[in-house]
């Protein structure tokens, strides 16, 4: 089964799907920010950065899908991005539910050499302290949806990375 699973990242539509998914997630975030007027907190901005990394790694995977080393690197990177997204989603849910206190401020925490909040404030500027996330359809909060999404991504990309290692 892992041998068949390995073939998935060689398909251009696999990578294009993740590019579209990342753009859709960023679009939803911007829709909530600019249309529904839910200002982003620092954890929301960190989540956006991880989603942007997902898009960039997907572009890399698309370009290198025909090379074993490229596929392995892209899959390992997707696994790492998924772990980062899971961490931020967990923090976001923890702050929302009250089982994680502190660690949330109006400072993006980004180093000067990676000042996305200064370079692209319309997308990455922290505008309010953490506390809650907006409710999505079906009564699910954005933090809950992100946690489930990122957990599925960790499992999926972890299995895909393992499949690249056992490829003959």
What residues are paired with 141 via a beta bridge?
Answer: 135
Rounded to whole angstroms, the Cα distance separating 77 from 83 reads 10
For 102: left if phi > 0, alpha if psi spans -120 to 50, otherwise beta; the answer is left
* pLDDT for res 3: 62
User: Domains (ranges, CATH) in the chain?
Assistant: 2-98+113-165 (1.20.1550.10)
Q: Which residue from 56, 88, 52, 92 is spatially nearest to 73, judged by alpha carbons? A: 56
The full length of the chain comes to 168
Q: CA Rg, the chain, in Å?
A: 17
* pLDDT for res 168: 57
Rounded to whole angstroms, the Cα distance separating 123 from 118 reads 10
Write the burial class of residue 106 (CB in 10 Å: 0-12 exposed, 13-18 middle, 19+ buried). Answer: exposed
pTM, full prediction = 0.90
SS3 of 95-152: the string is HHHCCCCCCCCCCCCCCHHHCHHHHCHHHHCCCCCCCCCCECHHHCEHHHHHHHHHHH
How crowded is residue 139: how many other Cβ atoms within 10 Å of its Cβ? 7
Q: Which residue from 126, 51, 43, 141 is spatially nearest to 89, judged by alpha carbons? A: 43
* pLDDT for res 16: 96
Q: What is the pLDDT along the chain (168 residues), one digit of tens a residue?
A: 556 777 888 889 999 999 999 999 999 999 999 999 888 888 889 999 999 999 999 999 999 989 988 988 999 999 999 999 999 999 988 888 877 776 677 777 778 888 888 898 888 888 888 777 888 888 888 989 999 999 999 999 998 888 888 765
Q: For the chain, first and last CA: distance in Å?
A: 13
Give φ, ψ of 141 to 5 degrees.
-80, 160
Residue identified by tokens 């249309």 is 35
């Amino acid at each position: 089964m892992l041998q068949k699973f390995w073939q998935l990242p060689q398909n251009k539509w696999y990578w294009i799907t993740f590019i579209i998914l990342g753009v859709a997630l960023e679009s939803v975030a911007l829709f909530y920010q600019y249309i529904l007027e839910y200002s982003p907190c620092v954890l929301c901005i960190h989540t956006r950065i991880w989603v942007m990394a997902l898009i960039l790694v997907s572009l890399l995977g698309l370009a290198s899908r025909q090379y074993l080393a490229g596929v392995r690197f892209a899959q390992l990177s997707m696994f790492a991005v998924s772990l980062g997204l899971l961490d931020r989603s967990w923090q976001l849910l923890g702050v929302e539910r009250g089982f994680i206190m502190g660690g949330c401020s109006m400072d993006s925490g980004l180093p000067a050499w990676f000042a996305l909040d200064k370079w692209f404030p319309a997308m990455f500027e922290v505008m309010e302290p953490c506390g809650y996330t907006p409710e999505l359809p079906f009564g699910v909060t954005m933090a809950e949806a992100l946690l489930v999404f990122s957990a599925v991504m960790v499992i999926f990309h972890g299995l895909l990375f393992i499949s690249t290692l056992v490829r003959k």
